[in-house]
Every structure is written in C-alpha cells, then in structure tokens.
Amino acid sequence: MSEPVSRREFMNLLGATFGTGALIRLGSALSLMPAAAAVSAPVFAAPAPGKGRVAILGAGISGLTVAWELTKAGYECTVLEASNRAGGRILTVRSGDTVDEIGNRQVCEWDNEPHMYFNAGAARIPSTHRNLLHYCKELGVELEVFINESKTAYVQDDAILGGKPIRNGDLSTNVRGFLAELFAKSFTQAQLNEPFSEAESEIIMRLIRTFGDLDEDRLYKGSSRAGYASGGFLDHGVLKEMIAFKDVMKTRYLGTMLTANEGETGPLLMQPVGGMDMIIKGFTRALGDKVIYQAQVAGMQIKDDGVDVAFDHNSKRETLSVDYCFNCIPAHLMTGIPHNFPTDYLHAMKYIRRGEAYKAAFQAKERFWEKDEIYGGISWVNAPIGQIWYPSHGIHKAKGVILAAYNFGGGMHFTKMQQAERVEALLAQGEKLHPDYRQLVEKPITIAWHRINHMLGCSARWQRSPGGWTHEEEALFDTLQQPVNGRHYFIGDQVSYHGAWQESAILSAHWALNDLNQRLRAESGA
C-alpha cells in the first residue's frame, strides 16, 4: 500500500475497506438523513355540523398527533387503544412497570428514582426532526442533550487485538491517521491527473495533515487526540502506543466509527427529561378522556358516509360510528381484524414485513463506567448485543440504568431465547467490555419487540431487496397512503419512506390531515 495509487483506485480502496459504497446503496435508515420537513400540520376549519366525529385506532404518536390537531379544530375525537398505556413503540420502563411480552412478562424492580428509566423503543431526537420538536415545545416537554458518542467508550471485537476492548478515541484517531497518510501519498498522483495550483495544493495538504494529525514528513506517528498514556497536565504527556492499522482493520466497526455519529444520529441529539414517554404524556394530558385504554379494535367497516368501528372494552363488544377514521394499528395486526378494505389495499398491507429489534437493560449497582472515564455514549461490541449505552442523564448519581443490548437486524437471536438464557448472554457479552459487569449489574429487563403485546414488531419493513425501493413497492406504498372512500386513513411510520422514527409517524399523520383538509375545502367550495 506504499505505492501511490490513482484517485479511482483510492476511492475503490476506500469503498472496499469501509464499505461506503455498500452503505450508500443500502440506504441505511440510520446513515441517510432526509431533509428537515417544515412544521406541516394544516389549519382546519371547524367541522360542518354533525360531520365531526373521528375515531383514531391506536394511541401511537401518529394517532395522538391526529387526535390533538383535530381536537384543536373542534372535532369530536375518540382514540381506541388496545393496551393499558398509550405510546406503542414509545415505551419508557421504570420501577413497577410491566413489560408485556407474550410468554415472558416482566416486572421492573429498579429503584424508584426519576433518572432510573430505560427508553425501550424510541430514544433519540435529532435536531432536524422539527415536527416532533414542535410538539415537545407545544406540549411543554422538557428536553435535554442525548450523548450518542463518547470517545472514551469502547469498541470490542474478538477479531482484533485478541478481543481486548479499545477506546473509541484510540480507534478513530488511528483510522484517521492511517487514512491521512494514504491521502498524502496519493495526492501527488492526484495532482498529476488534475493539476492544482501550488496554493491550492498547500491548502489540501494542510487539510490532510490536520485530518490525521500527520507530522512534518506527512507520516502518522500517533496523536495526543487519542489521549496520553500518562502525564500531560503537570508534566509532559507521553503518547499512547500507536495501534497498527493492520491490527485493527479486520473489525467491521472501522466504518461504524466514521458513520455512527453522522447524519440523523449526528450531534445534536436530544431526549425528554425523565423518559421518551414524556412526549406521550404531553399528548394524553392535552387529550384528557378522549383516549380509551384496553379498547381493542375488533372490526372496521368503511361506508360511503363514514366508518363503523367495533372494539372490545370491559369484556363487551362495542361499536362506534364516525365520519372519519385514522388508523395506526400495525398493518400485520390489522390484517387479522375483520374489515372491508379494497383488495389492493389489503395486498399492500400484507406486503409489509415486521422488524425484529431487540433491546435490554440492567440496573447498575454503581455507575462503574464513570470510574472508567465514560459519561454517556455507546460502546460497540461485535456480538449479538451489538451496543452498550451509558445513560446521558443522572451523571454522578449512585446508580444508573445501562442499556445492555441494541440489535435491530437479526433480533430473533435473543427473541428466541428464554429469559434466563437471554440474561446469561447479555452478561457474557457485556463482560468482554467491563470485566466485573456480572457483579455490577442486576434486575434485567429484556425487550423483544417481535413479541411485545399489540406491537409484535419494531417497525415496518417495506424493502425486500437491498437495492432500495422497487417501483412495485412504491406503488404499494402509494396505495396504502391514499384514503379509502376519503373516510379511512392509514397512518404511522409504516406509511413513510423512513421507518423507525417518530418524525416519520408524525409526518404521515400530517399528510393524512392535509389530504382530508383539502377534500373538505373542495367539498365546501363545491
């Protein structure tokens, strides 16, 4: 690799090493950032007399958004929620809560303190999610910073350095040093292909050197950016021993180091103080008794002039006749509820697959990560647990809740295990990072979204192939986004191109509201 390479070869090399090409093609939800959408809720006129009854099926954030906007406009809204709580995939677990996993119900026995919680579903709010932030402000939800990256957190991979955990900062500094050296070497060649003026060349070379902390000879010999091995304050710092690139290049986390904190998961991320469900509480506070809990929708008939909804409540089957219906029940559950959807609609619903994300958390008897210079952020582990998150909140308190696993790809690995096996796996894999982990953590909570009652999945999977959305899939999506008879709207992040974000769920609700608003205006104009 010491031979100069052409730019194309260089780009290819980069692609091969870091999989950037593959990443872009995959269009991973986490690395692509859609443009921020302006606040988009429409302004409704008051409903025509006798035309303002609305049923909202499911108290997911999209349903609550519709209920809130239409309530403000004077509509008579009823939210039917199967569970005993609102929020769906916005779930915060605290002392005394029951995790309603089918076949593995768990009760949380953590200390009852405001910082002792775990966001089992949505956890991060990007700065660009303007509609979600708009509601946080409108509903008085206090926000704080969420720390996604800590340079002192770890990367652990059995494939490198004999499985020894390495600090994020050590790895990223060395990767940049290596890349910069490569840039510097190939730059001479690049210059020949496309000449730069001498002044331009100097600028570029300075940038390359700064990027990787190269010395005068454009070589990387280690950097204080990774922190000192000793000293630095009252005596001269001693640089840490440099990690040879070839010793770490086999970990798939090299690319992760470059992308995990970019785009939508880049700074600055936020979280509500006290748990993500503070947003849901904001909505339900505003909606009062409009939300009916333990009301499981059991049937739905769309008519020309409205929608009839059947639901089970207090062991009785009840019906509700409304003018309009907004539905965020996950498509894979809605297919089991008698309905009269048109065939193409049903076909689109059935096309969607459900995701398998898995999370877990422990109560930590002490905040051992703080003794290890870690305050928030993520450690990456090349094992099924995938990630360990240190809480951004409650710094220096006695205890904390540590996220022990976050796996959104092959989540079935954990889902299929029984609780005791899951816990043992969490401990065994966490121990690779923190040697006394097993002694320091207790009271596990595991969240297999695939088996959580009334959800049975973490998010809609529209794409069947890694090549991006096919035209067929786009057509199915369009079908599902359109209302039936102008009376029934499907909403939720399942009706977005960017699943697994609250902003997408809210925007889908706004889309439906805008569509209805236009229809109503056209009708009243006619």
Ligand X SMILES: Cc1cc2nc3c(=O)[nH]c(=O)nc-3n(C[C@H](O)[C@H](O)[C@H](O)COP(=O)(O)OP(=O)(O)OC[C@H]3O[C@@H](n4cnc5c(N)ncnc54)[C@H](O)[C@@H]3O)c2cc1C
Question: Among another protein, ligand X, none, what binds residue 302 when CB lies within 5 to 8 Å by partner kind?
Answer: none
DSSP H or E stretch at residue 511: helix 502-525
460 binds another protein (CB under 8 A): no
Tell me the C-alpha distance between 205 and 180, whole Å.
9
Strands 76-80 and 291-292: parallel
Which letter does DSSP use for residue 203 in this model? Answer: H
The CB density around residue 190, as the number of other CB atoms within 10 Å, is: 18
Beta-carbon neighbour count of residue 416 at 10 Å?
Answer: 12
Euclidean distance between CA atoms 508 and 37, whole angstroms: 12
Q: Which x/- pattern over 266-295 shows residues binding another protein (rule: CB under 8 A)?
A: ----------------------------x-
- Out of 413, 456, 463, 515, point to the residue binding another protein (CB under 8 A): 456
Site string for another protein, 296-335 (x = CB under 8 A): xxxx----------x-x--xxx-------------xxxxx
Chain residues binding ligand X by CB under 6 A are: 57-63, 80-83, 88-90, 121-124, 296-297, 328-330, 333, 337, 357, 359, 449, 454, 458-459, 492-493, 500-505
Among 29, 82, 425, 491, binds another protein (CB under 8 A): 82
When asked if residue 107 is in the footprint of another protein (CB under 8 A), the reply is yes
Strand, helix or coil for residue 345: helix
Of 274 and 299, the one with the shorter C-beta distance to another protein is: 299
Near another protein in 378-437, by CB under 8 A: 416, 418
Are the CB atoms for 61 and 284 separated by under 8 Å? no
Residue among 132 and 226 whose Cβ is closer to ligand X: 132
Closest CB to another protein among 258 and 310?
310
Residue with Cβ nearer another protein (171 or 360): 360
Instruction: Say whether residue 25 binds another protein (CB under 8 A).
Output: no
Strands 358-364 and 296-303: unpaired
Residue number with CB closer to ligand X (123 or 423): 123
Q: In whole angstroms, what is the distance from residue 273 CA to residue 69 CA? A: 24
111: contact with another protein by CB under 8 A: no
- State residue 80 phi and psi, 5-degree precision: -100, 120
Give the torsion through C-alpha atoms of 308, 309, 310, 316, to 10 deg.
Answer: -110
Which of 271, 180, 275 lies closest to 225 in space, CA to CA?
180
Q: Which does 456 bind (CB under 5 to 8 A by kind): ligand X, another protein, none?
A: another protein
User: Which of 223, 118, 227 minimizes the C-alpha distance to 167?
Assistant: 227
List 40, 104, 189, 481, residue binding another protein (CB under 8 A): 104
Does 95 contact another protein by CB under 8 A?
A: no
Cα–Cα dist 215/181, whole Å: 10
Residues that bind another protein (CB under 8 A): 82, 84, 96, 98, 100, 102-105, 107, 294, 296-299, 310, 312, 315-317, 331-338, 349-350, 354, 416, 418, 451, 453-454, 456
